[in-house]
């Protein structure tokens, strides 16, 4: 009955967005064609651009994207990957500074553990607010993102500031505290394969284990899970929430110990929000998150190159990401058909 | 002017955009819909205000802000009501889109590294002498604040005392029953969302035209999300919501009080306060007040 509407709305929307993006592209000081060529070169113009640009940029998106996927799978709307990423980054910077003289080459890996714990702790605040006080996690996680931004701002000008107290950042990490590179001549570090391994492990957990099944069950229908499955819904959602925070926090740590080697404000250009697009486009499947993270990494690395070479503002990547989410949900609404039948309780 | 007086004045001034946005969101949530893209609506309104004001004075600014806000709200309505998409994901994506678009457009309209844009602001009205303590502080405000004073009781009356307002209630509680009672459910939903867009756009305009006098990327700074918290805090009642918003203005204005008192508090910690206050207030209130029964559920 309403089939036609469901086809042309997403299409019209896609056309509008394409027009807007074309307008932004031509706002630079070069032709749109040149700008797009700069984007392609920056993303995959060479092996170096692909590994040191795209894959390095994909790594934080992989971790945060996995975090969002796990939470959404359990029906937990964790919009707080950004804050969990930032607290993870802060904890990793602090742990690296404290540990590097004792732990040696283990330091970066311990820093990732510290980051994961901090991310989980940050998520646990929203989880506790949800469990004890029925505060919707959508609102609390977003608010905690802002708190985390100011917390990082405070840390890098206060307790964690570098010794000369000139720059708002932490002291640059010692060589021992940095994640090793995968080969010389590339910026790609071992954080990326770690993320891939975690994605595969998560996919196995979700599809092949009892606790993974319970998580999916709770996400699909918490009421049914409680009544028929004898599942402790509260415990499962808490587990998903903490795992989600831990993944995002580990992402922050990997970024500090693998790429930036210091904590500073604006260390995340919105990875936690892009992560939502990464996870949704992957259909919340951890294996597909690897692919979408690399895709969005290419987009962002390309957009940076485009800003450098063609003067097109790199925020265009954010516009494209938001458009992809909108088109994806409009498209799935189209294929869902009559939604009123599956509204659930 | 005394420190208390200037504190109250600052609290009301910073609370005004929050109140406008939250009053609009109250209508939307009464219809059972949670509109996270309120943040995007506010930044769109702020950008529209900046463009409109540089072309056609403050009036043009407010007008274009409303248009921009309604545009974002219309997109939200199209997705969530017509296509029945998930409200949280749609709202998050639209906020990302609005933040990115306004950022990119601001660079091409106002120049990337050009001089800081200055826009003439609408000054405060001064109906009573400054010496009139609290009343002076409450009334020494630009006109959007007066809009809040007028709209809060008007919306309360509309929601609780008119047929249309009660119809909106019914939709949020039980859309099927409302439909059966002959209420045009989707028309009310879209109307509420668009009204929320008008209010969100005005909130953005207030930031630019009555406060900052300029447009900065991401200047909405989470006010849309705070406003959603404020709606819960005000228990979906326009009077409570307006009161809660002014309370939040107070949390933000604390920094002026700290400065006046000569306290040396790190400004990052002060800037955290409104967000922490929202969280604390939600923890105190959320479980004990019941919102519209179908709030946030996919249509």
What pLDDT digit, counting tens, does each position of A50-95 carry? 999 999 999 999 999 999 999 999 999 999 999 999 999 999 999 9
Interface list for A 205-264 with B (CB within 8 A): none
Residue A90 lies in a domain: yes
Residue of chain B with shortest Cα separation from A20: B101
- pTM here is 0.89
The mean per-residue pLDDT over the stretch B119-125 comes to: 75
pLDDT at site A255: 97
**Domains of chain B (ranges, CATH numbers):** 3-110+142-288 (1.10.3470)
Residue A340 lies in a domain: no
B265 inside 8 A of chain A by CB: no
Residue A74 lies in a domain: yes
Residue in the structure block whose two tokens are 């009205």: B125
Residue A275 lies in a domain: yes
For an interface test with B, give the residue of A28, A68, A128, A136 to mutate (most B CBs within 10 A): A136
Nearest to A134 among B36, B225, B286 (CB): B286
Residue A312 lies in a domain: no
A316 inside 8 A of chain B by CB: yes
Q: What is the pLDDT of residues A40-57, one digit of tens each?
A: 888 888 888 899 999 999
User: A83 is in which domain, residue-wise?
Assistant: 58-291
Looking at chain A, list the stretches that DSSP marks H as alpha helix, in order from N- to C-terminal side. Answer: 3-25, 32-44, 47-48, 56-73, 81-103, 107-133, 137-157, 191-208, 210-220, 222-227, 233-255, 271-281, 286-310, 316-336
Closest CA to A66 of A274, A259, A234, A232: A274
Residue A28 lies in a domain: no
Residue A319 lies in a domain: no
Please give the mean pLDDT across all residues of chain A. 88
For an interface test with A, give the residue of B92, B234, B244, B296 to mutate (most A CBs within 10 A): B92
pLDDT at site A325: 86
Residue A75 lies in a domain: yes
Split into its structural domains, chain A has a count of 1
Q: What is the pLDDT of residues B159-209, one digit of tens each?
A: 999 999 999 999 999 999 999 999 999 999 999 999 999 999 999 999 999
Least confident of A137-151, B94-108, B142-156: B94-108
Interface list for B 31-90 with A (CB within 8 A): 34, 36, 78-79, 82-86, 88-90
Nearest to B93 among A132, A326, A336 (CB): A326
Closest CA to A126 of A91, A87, A156: A87
Interface list for B 215-244 with A (CB within 8 A): 217, 221-222, 225-226, 228-229, 232
Instruction: Report the complex ipTM.
Output: 0.86
> pLDDT over 90 for what percent of chain A?
57
3-class SS letters over chain B: CCHHHHHHHHHHHHHHHHHHHHHHHHHHHHCCCCCCCHHHHHHHHHHHHHHHHHHHHHHHHHHHHHHHHHHHHHHHHHHHHHCCCCHHHHHHHHHHHHHHHHHHHHHHHHCCCCCCCCCCCCCCCCCCCCCCHHHHHHHCCCHHHHHHHHHHHHHHHHHHHCHHHHHHHHHHHCHHHHHHCCCCHHHHHHHHHHHHHHHHHHHHHHHHHHHHCCCCCCCCCCHHHHHHHHHHHCCCCHHHHHHHHHHHHHHHHHHHHHHHHCCCCCHHHHHHHHHHHHHHHHHHHHHHCCCCCCCCCCC
Rounded CA separation A296/A292 (Å): 6
């Amino acid at each position: 009955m309403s089939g036609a509407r469901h086809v042309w709305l997403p299409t019209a929307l896609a056309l509008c967005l394409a027009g807007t993006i074309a307008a932004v592209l031509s706002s630079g000081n070069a032709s749109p064609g040149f700008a797009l060529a700069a984007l392609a070169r920056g993303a995959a113009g060479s092996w170096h651009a692909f590994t040191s640009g795209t894959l390095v940029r994909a790594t934080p998106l992989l971790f945060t994207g996995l975090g969002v996927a796990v939470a959404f799978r359990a029906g937990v709307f964790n919009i707080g990957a950004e804050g969990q990423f930032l607290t993870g980054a802060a904890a990793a910077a602090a742990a690296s500074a404290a540990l590097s003289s004792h732990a040696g080459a283990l330091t970066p890996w311990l820093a990732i553990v510290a980051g994961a714990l901090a991310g989980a702790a940050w998520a646990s605040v929203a989880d506790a607010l949800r469990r004890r006080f029925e505060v919707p996690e959508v609102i609390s996680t977003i608010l905690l993102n802002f708190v985390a931004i100011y917390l990082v701002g405070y840390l890098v000008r206060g307790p964690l500031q570098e010794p000369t107290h000139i720059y708002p950042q932490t002291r640059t990490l010692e060589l021992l505290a940095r994640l090793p590179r995968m080969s010389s001549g590339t910026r790609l570090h071992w954080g990326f394969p770690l993320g891939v391994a975690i994605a595969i492990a998560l996919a196995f957990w979700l599809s092949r284990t009892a606790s993974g099944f319970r998580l999916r069950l709770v996400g699909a229908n918490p009421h049914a899970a409680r009544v028929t499955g004898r599942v402790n819904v509260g415990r499962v959602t808490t587990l998903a929430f903490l795992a989600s925070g831990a993944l995002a926090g580990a992402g922050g740590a990997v970024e500090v110990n693998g790429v930036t080697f210091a904590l500073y404000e604006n260390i995340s250009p919105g990875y936690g929000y892009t992560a939502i697009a990464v996870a949704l486009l992957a259909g919340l499947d951890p294996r597909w998150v690897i692919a979408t993270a690399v895709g969005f990494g290419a987009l962002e690395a390309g957009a940076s190159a485009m800003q450098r070479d063609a003067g097109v503002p790199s925020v265009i990547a954010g516009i494209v990401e938001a458009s992809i989410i909108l088109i994806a949900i409009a498209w799935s609404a189209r294929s869902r058909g009559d939604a009123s039948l599956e509204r659930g309780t | 002017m005394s420190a208390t007086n200037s504190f109250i004045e600052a609290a009301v001034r910073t609370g005004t955009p929050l109140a406008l946005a939250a009053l609009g969101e109250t209508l939307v949530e009464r219809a059972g819909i949670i509109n996270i893209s309120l943040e995007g609506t506010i930044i769109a309104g702020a950008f529209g205000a900046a463009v409109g004001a540089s072309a056609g004075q403050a009036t043009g600014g407010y007008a274009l802000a409303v248009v921009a806000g309604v545009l974002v709200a219309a997109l939200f309505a199209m997705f969530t009501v017509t296509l029945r998409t998930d409200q949280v994901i749609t709202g998050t994506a639209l906020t990302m889109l609005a933040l990115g678009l306004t950022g990119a457009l601001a660079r091409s309209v106002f120049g990337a590294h050009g001089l800081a844009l200055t826009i003439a602001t609408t000054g405060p009205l001064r109906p009573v002498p400054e010496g009139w303590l609290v009343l002076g502080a409450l009334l020494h405000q630009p006109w959007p604040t007066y809009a809040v004073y007028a709209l809060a009781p008007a919306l309360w009356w509309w929601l609780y005392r008119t047929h249309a307002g009660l119809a909106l209630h019914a939709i949020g509680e039980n859309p099927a029953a409302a439909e059966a009672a002959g209420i045009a459910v989707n028309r009310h939903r879209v109307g509420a969302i668009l009204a929320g867009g008008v209010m969100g756009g005005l909130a953005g305009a207030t930031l630019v035209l009555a406060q900052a006098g300029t447009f900065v990327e991401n200047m909405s700074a989470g006010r849309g999300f705070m406003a959603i918290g404020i709606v819960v805090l005000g228990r979906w009642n326009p009077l409570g919501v307006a009161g809660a918003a002014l309370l939040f203005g107070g949390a933000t204005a604390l920094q002026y009080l700290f400065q006046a008192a000569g306290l040396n508090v790190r400004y990052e910690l002060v800037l955290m306060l409104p967000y922490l206050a929202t969280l604390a207030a939600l923890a105190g209130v959320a479980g004990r007040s019941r919102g519209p029964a179908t709030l946030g559920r996919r249509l």
